[in-house]
């Protein structure tokens, strides 16, 4: 737990420094060192557990923590390149929380996976992290549009890219996440035995529905120029379906039915 607490404190320090910069309308990089330390410690938290277990752990809290780590990495990459560093004010506390939850509740006996299933799992985790970032960007896009429409020029707006740039970033992120989700479904079809078994059928159906929703959104953007509130709604609905596909079903299986 000590490593998890240090990790969480590093994340919160990075978020606090970012919040300070946002409130002062400063684009500094003081947040970057603690963010990098937090990401390294977060990765070490999983690596030491996997080394001891001799297998990749992808149960509920472990997978949730890995998605938080992935979102932290993407946020840091965005921020270091000068885009959307303010996103870390939201993402870093989430990563800290899921890291603590994993340290407290997530150490479950893992089942060894061959390289094909590991490939499927990593594609899924990367897709969740990327599309999770997209969902947060969609919420910020909605908030920015709403504030501008009401002529409420809050200080946090200065930390955001212009509306058109934020919208472009949203769709680029969705496109990358859609590609990863496509790879997840393809590797699932190719490598997962009994994909439509009783405990997997709902995950498969919800994942396909989410994939279709993201696909329709990208098609609508390309063909009909969808944007604004419509893009936000489609993004959030698709993300909810994706969250239910794995984390909703895993929560029921592991926390309610006690099937590990």
- Residue 166 tokens read as 């934020």
Cβ-based neighbours of 164, under 8 Å, separated by 6 or more: none
Contact 12, 146 (CB under 8 A): no
Task: Please say whether the beta carbons of 58 and 107 come within 8 A.
Answer: no
Contacts of 5 (CB under 8 A, 6+ apart): 100
Q: How many CB atoms lie within 10 A of CB 51?
A: 9
Structure tokens belonging to residue 72: 């932290």
pLDDT of residue 86: 83
Check if the beta carbon of residue 95 is closer than 8 Å to that of residue 67.
no
pTM: 0.91
- Position 104 scores a pLDDT of 85
Instruction: Provide the residue-wise pLDDT of the chain in tens; the chain has 260 residues.
Output: 688 899 999 999 999 999 888 877 777 789 999 999 999 999 998 888 777 666 677 788 888 999 999 999 999 998 887 777 788 999 999 999 999 999 887 666 666 678 788 898 899 999 999 999 999 999 999 988 887 787 766 666 666 778 888 899 999 999 999 999 999 999 988 877 766 554 677 788 899 999 999 999 999 999 998 988 899 999 999 999 999 988 877 766 666 556 55
pLDDT of residue 111: 67
pLDDT, position 189 = 84
Chain CA centroid to CA 104, Å? 21
Sign, Cα dihedral of 89, 94, 99, 100: positive
CA atoms within 13 A on the CB side of 177: 33
């Amino acid at each position: 737990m000590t490593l998890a607490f240090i990790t969480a404190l590093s994340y919160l320090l990075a978020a606090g420094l970012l919040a300070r910069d946002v409130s002062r309308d400063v684009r500094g990089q003081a947040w970057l060192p603690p963010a990098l330390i937090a990401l390294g410690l977060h990765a070490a938290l999983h690596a030491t557990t996997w080394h001891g277990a001799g297998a990749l752990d992808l149960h509920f809290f472990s997978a949730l923590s890995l998605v938080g780590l992935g979102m932290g990495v993407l946020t840091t990459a965005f921020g270091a390149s000068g885009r959307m560093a303010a996103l870390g004010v939201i993402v870093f506390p989430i990563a800290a929380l899921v890291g603590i939850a994993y340290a407290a509740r997530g150490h479950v006996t893992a089942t060894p996976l061959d390289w094909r299933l590991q490939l499927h799992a990593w594609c899924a985790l990367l897709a969740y992290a990327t599309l999770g970032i997209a969902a947060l960007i969609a919420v910020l896009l909605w908030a920015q549009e709403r504030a501008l429409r009401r002529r409420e020029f809050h200080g946090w707006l200065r930390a955001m890219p212009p509306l058109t740039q934020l919208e472009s970033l949203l769709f680029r992120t969705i496109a990358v996440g859609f590609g990863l989700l496509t790879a997840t479904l393809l590797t699932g079809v190719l490598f997962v035995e009994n994909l439509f078994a009783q405990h997997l059928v709902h995950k498969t159906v919800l994942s396909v529905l989410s994939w279709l929703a993201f696909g329709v959104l990208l098609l609508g953007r390309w063909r009909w120029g969808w944007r604004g509130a419509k893009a936000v709604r489609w993004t959030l609905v698709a993300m909810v379906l994706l969250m239910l596909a794995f984390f909703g079903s895993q929560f029921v299986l592991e926390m309610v039915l006690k099937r590990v």
